Amino acid sequence: MHEDSELINFFDWVRVQEKFDNRLSVIYHVANERKTSQRQGRIFKQKGVRSGVPDVCVPIPSGMYPGLYIEFKIKPNTLSDNQRKFIQTLISIGYLVTIAWSAKEAIQIVREYLNEPSKMAH
């Protein structure tokens, strides 16, 4: 899957950069896209897995934001209704949420977020 490749490329960059900026070591992928049996799906929900959570969490405060979430999409894919709702809730409580169409774009988003968050928009 192409989205997986982009996520892997993004985290390859994160692993290199965290050697120079330890803050990046807290960036993580939210692995909620798995296919499971109904029974295992119920257990995941009971354990707190939620539909619609963006793919990457950057739990580093910057500017006026307590953190950044990035949803990876590959064109022509679009956000699901659950993703839209979850993203709107994150924005309403102050997080910056963006969509990245490639690893290169996600890297640029993180760089801008950490250096000039005031120039970024939801």
Handedness of CA 45, 51, 56, 59 (dihedral sign): negative
Task: For residues 65 and 81, give the distance between their C-alpha atoms in angstroms, rounded to a whole number.
Answer: 24
Domain boundaries along the sequence of the chain: 2-119
- According to the model, what pLDDT value does residue 100 have? 96
Burial class (CB within 10 angstroms; exposed 0-12, middle 13-18, buried 19+) of 92: exposed
Residue type, 120: M
> Which structure tokens are listed for 7?
């996520």
Query: For the whole model, what pTM was predicted?
Result: 0.89
pLDDT tens column, 62-105: 999 999 999 999 888 899 999 999 999 999 999 999 999 999 99
Higher pLDDT, 55 or 122: 55
CATH 3.40.1350.10, domain 2-119, yes or no: yes
Mean pLDDT value across residues 23-33: 89
Share of the chain above pLDDT 70, in %: 93
- According to the model, what pLDDT value does residue 1 have? 57
- According to the model, what pLDDT value does residue 117 have? 64
* Sequence-ordered list of residues with C-beta below 8 angstroms from that of 71, at least 6 positions apart, any chain: 54, 55, 56, 79, 83, 87, 97, 98, 99, 100
* Sequence-ordered list of residues with C-beta below 8 angstroms from that of 67, at least 6 positions apart, any chain: 57, 58, 59, 60, 61, 95, 96
- According to the model, what pLDDT value does residue 8 have? 95
